[in-house]
């Protein structure tokens, strides 16, 4: 069956390449019975260009089977294509989303050229370097927001100066109760304001030197060895549907092993969990290492009398936390390791999920959070069910086939 499917895809792509038709037909299929809301569908722009010669990213329409116009994005993440004159084109992938209902295992879409310019679609995923707040890097979608910390925050205080100092590669959570972007608004309001819920949500998550919500380290069987604040950043795509960025961490010592890390984040609209691909490079030591991905054991604000329940799920390579707080609502956090999962551990600060990583090869995992006051997760069971569905979706990705329609 797989051989026949691959042959059909190759023949479809060959037809597209040879004939350059008027509409590109995209069919997305999967094998799960569950709903898949905000499923992100990607098509290489090279295939769009073959089907629609001369197509411009601002002059196309993406439609579902009912003819409804869909929001879309064209990234420059993939290797650059070449136009007929041999000049570099920054287009990489065409991206759009579909809400698969429970039991809906196939959906069809079309892409065609238009005479008019496409509308500007609402931003639902966003990332930004924050030089005005000690090199923070923040990102969000319409569900949740995060930030992490850069070199300025880790730098020692100069004589006679006053500055916060925090050395950590942990990941923070900002809880939203609105779907529009809040990162710029909250930083503009100032530090004290975003620690209070003034109608849009709040920063109520404590990171400190812990892993926060999904930070990493090297596990030697007894001790977690962690790096410092990120050293450099690079944004590869920035909404409206998907943001992709990389954070680079300088080398650190892990019980005789010298290692560095590059994290690539993929933040999709409509999802509470982000995909992270960590590529560890071992300069000295064994080329295969055990990586730990952590969840802070005590993430709640002081005075919240928080009660935390940890739910490990060996079958899914996942763990969730459910944190019940006095006035700040309830917060779920999670990590999923779809492949190379090696079990659970803990240290003084963190619940840990272990995974095998090979030097120079990306390790993929998912990290995120959900807040009861956002209106979607009112119980621990609802959060655990959501994370289990995310794990199932990671194991059974959507398959995309292309065809030509004259």
Q: Is the model's pLDDT at 17 over the cut of 80?
A: no
Supply the pLDDT for residue 191. Answer: 66
| 288-296 vs 350-358, strand pairing mode | antiparallel
Task: Please tell me whether residues 264 and 330 are part of one structural domain.
Answer: yes
Residue 125 falls inside a structural domain: no
140-189 confidence digits (pLDDT tens): 999 999 999 999 999 999 888 888 999 999 999 999 999 999 999 999 97
Question: Residue 285: pLDDT above 80?
Answer: yes
pLDDT band at residue 2 using 50, 70 and 90 as cut-offs: very low
380: in domain: no
Question: Would residue 121 count as lying in a domain?
Answer: no
pLDDT at residue 7 above 60? no
Q: Are residues 215 and 322 in the same domain?
A: yes
Rama region for 66: left / alpha / beta (φ>0; ψ in -120 to 50; rest) = alpha
Q: Determine the average pLDDT of the residues in 227-233.
A: 98
What pTM, to 2 d.p., does this model score? 0.91
Q: For residue 101, is it within any domain?
A: yes
Residues 317 and 349 in one domain: yes
By DSSP bridging, strand 399-405 and strand 23-29 are: antiparallel
Predicted local distance difference test score (pLDDT) of residue 91: 80
Same domain, 219 and 79: no
Cβ atoms of residues 213 and 221 within 8 Å: no
Gyration radius of the chain's alpha carbons: 22
In this structure, are residues 243 and 74 in contact, taking their beta carbons and an 8 Å threshold? no
Q: How many CB atoms lie within 10 A of CB 385?
A: 13
| DSSP strands (E only) in 8-105 | 23-29, 36-44, 60-64, 72-74, 81-82, 88-89, 93-100
Confidence of residue 52 (pLDDT cuts 50, 70, 90): very high
For residues 311 and 321, what is the distance between their CA atoms, to the nearest angstrom?
6
Answer whether residue 211 shows pLDDT above 70: yes
More confident residue, 41 or 81: 41
Q: Are residues 64 and 145 in the same domain?
A: no
pLDDT for 193: 82
In this structure, is residue 122 part of a structural domain? no
Boundaries of domain holding 281: 130-375
* Residue 209 near residue 167, CB atoms below 8 Å: yes
Q: CATH no. for residue 248?
A: 2.70.98
Q: Are residues 172 and 66 in the same domain?
A: no
Q: Are the CB atoms for 281 and 360 separated by under 8 Å?
A: yes
Domain presence at residue 67: yes
CA distance 327 to 5: 54
When pLDDT is averaged across residues 327-341 and rounded to a whole number, the result is 97
Q: Is 271 found in the same domain as 193? A: yes
102 and 193 belong to one structural domain? no
Alpha-carbon gap, residue 362 to 277, rounded angstroms: 5
- pLDDT-based confidence at 90, cuts 50/70/90? low
Give the model confidence (pLDDT) of 380-393 as tens digits.
999 999 999 999 99
Binning pLDDT at 50, 70 and 90, where does residue 18 land? very low
Condensed to tens digits (0 to 9), the pLDDT of residues 298-312 reads 999 999 999 999 999
CA distance 288 to 357: 6
pLDDT at 406: 78
Reported as a pLDDT band with limits 50, 70 and 90, residue 87 is: low
What's the pLDDT at 160? 82
99 lies in the same domain as 216: no
Number of domains, the chain: 2
Cβ atoms 126, 237 nearer than 8 A:
no
160 contacts: CB under 8 Å, gap ≥ 6: none
Residue 11 and residue 67 in contact, taking contact as beta carbons nearer than 8 Å: no
Mean pLDDT of 95-117: 97
Q: Give percent above pLDDT 70 in the chain.
A: 91
Check whether 3 has a pLDDT greater than 90: no
In a domain, 190, yes or no: yes
Q: What pLDDT score does 96 carry?
A: 98
**Closest to 300 (Cα-Cα) out of 273, 319, 323, 272:** 323
Domain for residue 177, yes or no?
Answer: yes
pLDDT of amino acid 194: 86
The Cα–Cα gap between 181 and 172 comes to 17
**d(Cα 247, Cα 235) in Å, to the nearest integer?**
9
Residues 112, 135, single domain; the answer is: no
Domain match, 154 and 31 both: no
Residues 109 and 159 in one domain: no
Average pLDDT, the chain: 92
CATH number of the domain encompassing residue 67: 2.60.40.1180
Can you tell me the distance from the alpha carbon of 341 to that of 347, in angstroms, rounded to the nearest whole number? Answer: 18
């Amino acid at each position: 069956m797989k051989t026949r499917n691959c042959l059909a895809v190759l023949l479809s792509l060959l037809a597209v390449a040879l004939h350059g038709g008027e509409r590109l037909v995209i069919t997305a299929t999967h094998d799960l019975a569950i709903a898949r809301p905000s499923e992100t569908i990607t098509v290489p722009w090279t295939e769009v260009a073959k089907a629609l010669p001369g197509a411009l990213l601002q002059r196309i329409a993406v439609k579902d089977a009912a003819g409804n116009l869909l929001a879309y994005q064209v990234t420059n993440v993939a290797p650059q294509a070449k136009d007929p004159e041999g000049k570099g084109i920054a287009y990489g992938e065409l991206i759009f989303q579909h809400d698969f209902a429970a039991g809906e295992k196939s959906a069809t879409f079309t892409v065609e050229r238009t005479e008019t310019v496409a509308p500007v679609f609402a931003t639902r995923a966003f990332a930004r370097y924050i030089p005005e707040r000690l090199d923070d890097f923040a990102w969000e979608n319409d569900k949740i927001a995060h930030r992490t910390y850069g070199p300025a925050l880790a730098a020692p205080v100069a004589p006679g100066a006053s500055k916060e100092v925090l050395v950590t590669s942990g990941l923070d959570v900002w809880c939203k109760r609105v779907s529009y972007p809040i990162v710029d608004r909250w930083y503009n309001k100032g530090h004290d304001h975003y620690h209070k819920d003034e109608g849009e949500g709040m920063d109520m998550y404590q990171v400190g030197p812990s892993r926060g919500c999904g930070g990493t380290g090297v596990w030697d069987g007894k001790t977690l060895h962690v790096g410092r604040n990120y050293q450099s950043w690079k944004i590869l795509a920035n909404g409206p549907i998907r943001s992709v960025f990389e954070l680079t961490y300088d080398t650190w010592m892990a019980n005789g092993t010298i290692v560095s890390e590059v994290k690539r984040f993929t933040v999709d609209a409509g999802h509470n969990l982000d995909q992270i691909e960590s590529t560890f490079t071992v300069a000295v030591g064994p080329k295969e290492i055990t990586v730990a991905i952590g969840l802070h054991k005590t993430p709640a604000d002081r005075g919240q009398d928080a009660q935390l329940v940890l739910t490990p799920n060996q079958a899914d390579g996942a763990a969730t936390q459910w944190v019940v707080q006095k006035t700040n609502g309830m917060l779920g956090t999670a990590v999923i390791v779809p492949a190379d999962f090696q079990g659970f551990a803990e240290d003084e600060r963190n619940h840990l999920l272990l995974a095998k990583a090979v030097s120079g090869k990306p390790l993929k995992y998912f990290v995120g959070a959900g807040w009861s006051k956002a209106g979607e997760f009112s119980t621990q069971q609802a959060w655990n069910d959501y994370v289990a569905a995310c794990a199932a979706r990671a194991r059974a990705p959507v398959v995309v086939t292309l065809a030509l329609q004259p």
